[in-house]
Amino acid sequence: DKWQDADAIDFEPLPCVRGVLPNGLRYVILRHSIPPGRFEAHLEIHVGSVDEDDSQRGMAHMMEHICFLGSERRSELQGRGVGMTSNALTDFQQTVYHLSVGSEHLAAGFDALADIAFTPAFQPERIEKERAAVLSEAQMVNDVTYRNHTQIIGATHGENIIHERFPIGLEGQIARWSEADLRDFHGKWYTPENATLWVVGDIIEVQVIAHIERSFGGFSSLQSSALPSDPWRRDTMSLFRPAMPARPKILHNYVASRSTAMDASTVPAVNSWSKDLNISVATNRLMQGMQVCWVAKAPLFPVLSQADLVPWLCKRLVVEAVRLRLQTRWSSGSMPGNLHCYDSVREGVAVTTFTVLTEPLLWQETCREALKEVLAVARFGVDVDELNLVTRMALNRVQEGARMQPWSLMGTMVGYDAAVTSRSVVEAMIASAPCGHVLTSAAAFSRALQIASEEIDAARLNAAAVEILGHLGGVGEPCGTVVVSVPEIVTDELTGRQVPFVAPTSAEVESVLRGVSELTEEEVRRKRVPVPMRLLPENMPVVQVERTVLPGGVVSLLLPNGLRVRLLVHRSTPDGPSQSTMRLRGLGGRAADVMTGSDSAVQAGLLALENSGVGEWSREQVRLYKRMNLVDAEFRALPDVIETDVHFAPTLSSCRAALEWLHWLLREPQMDLQGFAEAQLRLKGLANAREKSIEGKAIQMLKEEMYPRDPWLWEATLAQVNCLTLGQAKRAALAQLGDLSMLELDIASSAVPSVSTSRVGSSMSHEEGGQEHADAPADGDAQEAIEEMQRALEQEICQALGSLPAAQSVGAKLQPRLEPTMSWSGCELRSHMPDAQERGFVAVAGGAPGWHGRGDATWQAATASQNAAWLESCSVDPAYASSAMRLMSECMNGRLLSRIRDQLSLAYNCEVCITMYEGFSAGNFICKCYAAPEKLAMATRAALEVLRSPSFFPFTDAEVEASKRVLSYREAQEKRERGYWVQRLRPLLDGQCAATRLSEERDLLGKLTADDALQAWKMLTGLEDPFIVQATSGSPLVASMLPPGPLVDRSPRPPPSTPAFSASAAASMELLD
């Protein structure tokens, strides 16, 4: 309860200002000017689903909807076009309303939050709208992940009410509550003394306090005479929240361990110590694989001192050691299990989970093999070399985060992740404060971890391993909670038929978990994998290259082997990514498979390479090498290109490691039968899971109808995957990777000048007027760092990749690919999936132009009479098509949400997504909507009505300006993603890189008008004759809720004079197949 008091912690405290109003409302203020000129305010009401009684299950969540969307002041501020973003959330222990807006609107923002929480308008129409929205949301979120999550939470917390108080609530109760019921709930919990306001941003504290007093000071507390003497004290027996009358106690059964020696009075929220092994087995209709999750709960203690940090770090190093063992010693390409150890404020406990994901028929073998590795860590511990390796990996991540983003915050509740923006900082504060977890500057946290690591030797770490892993057996009797999620049906790999799966009994699961044959110490020693320090000799020759400097600081290198490299080194900024990325792109993609008659072969080949060895190094050695050097790679087979993204820390050593691995991937990749079998199994799993997903199955049906002759635009089917061979996958992948002259490598990295990290910096200082980091380097220092990094990277590129010969492929030469063509006539399909839960989903689709503005043959025929102005605009500016389409789709999404959700209460969400392919002239749009089965027909008609609406109600200037603000905000969010800058290096038709055109694109978006949005809408085809798939799940009776016959009026287009599919074309295509 002394969180962030300077005299209570050993770390550099945050310069927070805390206070309490006379009515009991608490506030915490932190100046943090990222982004500049804005602030983030989160009003936390300390009420959640655990505070509901038996007849109110879901009321906290519905109250959130009513308060947030029923606030006139919030709506008025949102409509003023000041760039405000706002939202709300409900969890077990809290309801949070938050907004972000310019600092000049501080008073209006606080007024809006006060209106949301304390003066909601309980209007009957608003109550009914939000009732419908909550019911629709309950159906939308009820997917396989949600069902697994609720099963685990329910089984883990059987001793308290968390197990039956999920925030989404019970639909039957939600449908019955009256206005009086809701008012009673609000009056009981929505009081100032049960609220905390968190304000972080580019603000002046004195002004903030004055506005808080004005906006929130006039509300009365429920019991002003009974306000707590210490308003900051947290009730450990009620999820670490402020004490309130009638607040339920949430106590836990902790696993019996050495912690039982503690004085019971010092252990928070303890109900009992348990040595029992509780096993829960449940079927999940939507699952394809099987999941075994072993959970242990322990007390949640604060981390406020340097001494507290040592056991915290020990836990994280044990987790790293276990993951390392599983990742390097498991014979398959992916870990069979994963270990997590974290503190959960929402549940009020420290949680350790060991999760095994397995094929249902192999669950016994997989569980035994995975547990062998974990129990070996508990019994024999780790040696000094392993300790040094995991410590280096853990500290490197924190040190790199602190070096790259010295303005960020880190702490024990957020782990190794850095909180950079005002939004992430306030979320970290809300998560860290209740249970007393440290949150400080990234530099201070990095130093503290380094000091803590010096106190951890192998003996101390191995003792922590016994503490953390002891409940799994080996060094003691197994205990805790085991949650087994089993598919109700599985798909036969050969026939594709769905067959029942017999779930194991609890006794069978217990027998397997208790009967693991442990490894001997000698077996553990023999399994150790040596880590290569380098993959290439240190003194590789530097080849001569053709070097061109493009506008915007982009350097283009043409290597002697034909590989084109574009390099951008930019200054590290608070709004940029913390990692660097290189992207290898090759023409072809899944479309090239059609020419070879082996659909999905390149996708299987890339998946096989993802976890393979290279050169003389095994897959286990390569994994260790990449992890040790903070390198991560992912492969993608897109319809038009293949991409390999390699993420690395913005240091010379990490970049060198990434380039050395890429050298061997292109020179001598390993692809064996085992790797191919694993890739094939992954593709089969994806195909089978899609058949159990109401949305996935519907979209697949849609794509097959839209592009019946272009299977590379579908997802891989089970039949396609079953037909693949190792030879086909190998040839397909190497055909697109082997010829370096057909590849392009884009690298985007940031440079960090030397800065002082002696304090958090003026982004959190109290000096008025300062928005830039006071210790930030001068522009000259930043430019010098960029140039130095650029020179070093160019040398590494020339050494690692310049020595590769031009052609490495032993596969077939890549052949010209086909252009896709959409079907001329639309359709209306229906799909039903048996399930215990009723859900509905609809997708409405049609054609759109490709990235450069021109569509396929069907699109060209359909728009021939009206695309001249569009094509002219696209020829003038290569970015026009994508910019205009983005603006139009955002305008359309605003209409869809307003009409279908707010006005008609048919669905919780409805949006249109536009795909514009880059490698060929084609595109499409798909409008997706979840709705209750009985409302699905109405939602379909309403969505189509909105999609057609610009024909009689063109987009307005107000819609366009609002959409531009949303797109601007979204770009600011995307800019922090690690692949943002490398994506900007993509070449455009005019030969420039998008990185050099970034400011021009922003200017273009700013100049676009309502006429441009309307012109983009006119380039959508199929609106009068759309492709529609309506999908339902539940009992057979649910499908009958849809009315018979067509749901929408169609105006079929006359076929073009030159059909998209001619007989001769079809015949020649069959011959090619």
**Can you give the pTM of this predicted structure?**
0.88
Residue 979's pLDDT is what?
82
DSSP class of 248: P
**Which of the pair, 775 or 246, is modelled with greater confidence?**
246
DSSP class of 897: I
CB atoms within 10 A of CB 1073: 11
Q: What is the 3-state secondary structure (H, E, C) of 918-952?
A: CCCCCEEEEEEEECCHHHHHHHHHHHHHHHHHHHC
Residue 616's pLDDT is what?
94
Answer whether residue 1014 shows pLDDT above 90: yes
436 three-state secondary structure: coil
What is the band of 647 on the pLDDT scale with cuts at 50, 70, 90? very high
Q: Give the mean pLDDT of 789-810.
A: 84
What is the band of 1073 on the pLDDT scale with cuts at 50, 70, 90? very low
Residue 223's pLDDT is what?
65
Q: Are 620 and 373 in contact (CB under 8 A)?
A: no
What is the band of 577 on the pLDDT scale with cuts at 50, 70, 90? confident
234 three-state secondary structure: strand
Tokens encoding 819: 């252009």
Residue 404: phi and psi, rounded to 5, are -75, -30
Among the listed residues 36, 41, 206, 33, the one whose alpha carbon sits nearest the alpha carbon of residue 761: 33
How far apart are the C-alpha atoms of 481 and 373, rounded to whole Å? Answer: 20
CA distances to 775, 949, 1021 from 1053, rounded to whole Å, are 65, 19, 10
What is the band of 331 on the pLDDT scale with cuts at 50, 70, 90? low
Q: What is the CA angle 461-467-468, rounded to 5?
A: 90
Residue 10's pLDDT is what?
65
Instruction: Give pLDDT tens digits for 927-947.
Output: 999 999 999 999 999 999 999
Residue 787's pLDDT is what?
87
Q: What percent of the chain has pLDDT over 90?
A: 59
Helices (H) and strands (E) in the chain, counts: 35, 32
Residue 259's pLDDT is what?
46
Residue 341's pLDDT is what?
93
What is the band of 1053 on the pLDDT scale with cuts at 50, 70, 90? low
How far apart are the C-alpha atoms of 413 and 404, rounded to whole Å? Answer: 20
Among the listed residues 378, 289, 300, 311, the one whose alpha carbon sits nearest the alpha carbon of residue 339: 378
Best-predicted range by mean pLDDT among 346-350, 572-576, 620-624, 926-930? 926-930
Instruction: Give pLDDT tens digits for 836-874.
Output: 889 999 999 999 999 989 999 999 999 998 989 999 999
Answer whether residue 1002 shows pLDDT above 60: yes
CB atoms within 10 A of CB 251: 17
How far apart are the C-alpha atoms of 586 and 582, rounded to whole Å? Answer: 13
Q: What residues have CB less than 8 Å from 820, skipping those under 6 apart?
A: 591, 639, 707, 710, 712, 713, 856, 917, 920, 922
Q: What residues have CB less than 8 Å from 808, skipping those under 6 apart?
A: 666, 667, 734, 737, 738, 739, 740
**Which of the pair, 8 or 334, is modelled with greater confidence?**
334
DSSP class of 955: P
Least confident of 72-86, 193-207, 658-672: 72-86
Answer whether residue 764 shows pLDDT above 80: no
Residue 719's pLDDT is what?
87
Residue 850 one-letter amino acid: G
Best-predicted range by mean pLDDT among 262-266, 573-577, 955-959? 955-959
Q: Where are the beta strands (DSSP E) in 934-1047?
A: 1027-1034
What is the band of 1045 on the pLDDT scale with cuts at 50, 70, 90? confident
Residue 781's pLDDT is what?
73
Among the listed residues 1009, 1037, 908, 888, the one whose alpha carbon sits nearest the alpha carbon of residue 949: 888
Q: Give the mean pLDDT of 77-92.
A: 90
**Which of the pair, 6 or 956, is modelled with greater confidence?**
956
Residue 770 one-letter amino acid: G
Q: Are 581 and 982 in contact (CB under 8 A)?
A: yes
CB atoms within 10 A of CB 613: 20
Instruction: Give pLDDT tens digits for 410-428.
Output: 999 887 788 999 999 999 9
Residue 998's pLDDT is what?
64
